[in-house]
Homo-oligomer: A and B are copies of this chain.
Amino acid sequence: MLKIGPYEFSSRLLLGTGKYPNFDVQKEAVDVSETEVLTFSVRRMNIFEPNQPNFLEKLEVENYTLLPNTAGAKTAEEAVRTAKLAKASGLCDMVKVEVIGDQKTLLPDPIETLKASEELLKEGFIVLPYTSDDVLLAKRLEEIGCHAIMPGASPIGSGQGIVNPLNLEFIIENANVPVIVDAGIGSPSDAATAMELGADGVLLNTAVSGAKDPVKMAKAMKLAIEGGRLGYKAGRIPKKRYATASSPTEGMSIG
């Protein structure tokens, strides 16, 4: 079970809802992914304008734990304000803190992320910050009380996968709260790798919604995350420079 704050989830896949070709594909992808946590930008919620088209139209929202993010925020102040709007809607008390420091790389601003997280923790939120893979920043975020840490694998939507497995491993080794690898995952093997490094979960969006067949990819990700997790639990063989026969032939009778 993945436990984040008061919540428990069987699935270790957190799925984004943006950029699907249409609502039917979105719904079907979410279904086959078996995710229990949906993430989306607060800015896309039609909280106060119920007559706007609902971007989660066909999803039965009450079946999921909602994890709104503060995408679009460039400062702690903006992120806090955005998070409060989401909570005011009554839909959620969890928030993914996302404070972007650079529009080209969409990498997070460490100082503002820390500040926003501190503030939102004070306000009683369940706080999951999207952060770089800076090992000490991740530790600091845990120390101030964040309920999970979400280091990026590579830039959002880049599909580059895990550029720095070493830092992820260090973050995971040091952590006493769940580590969810967020951003940059491109393929099922990337997701499996994250789990094999010991991550507690993976958050995906573009890798699924931007695939040629998002529904197939949602299923693929589900399987890969389960496989990666199970592989982590199973205890892999060590890497060796040279070979080891899998069919020892000593003492055999023929040849």
Contact = CB atoms under 8 A, between A and B. Distances in A.
Interface of A: 16, 18-19, 40-49, 52, 69, 71-73, 78, 81-82, 85, 101-102, 104-111, 114, 132, 134-137, 139-140, 154-161, 163-164, 166-167, 170, 174, 186-190, 192-193, 196, 205-207, 209-214, 216-217, 219-231, 233-249, 252-255
12 contacts: A19-B247, A69-B247, A82-B255, A102-B139, A105-B170, A107-B135, A111-B114, A111-B136, A132-B134, A132-B135, A158-B243, A159-B239
A22 to B, nearest CB: 15
Q: Assembly of this chain: how many copies?
A: 4
Contacts of A254: 42-43, 45, 47-48, 82, 85
A157 B246 contact: yes
Given A223-B230, A227-B221, A240 B19 contact: no
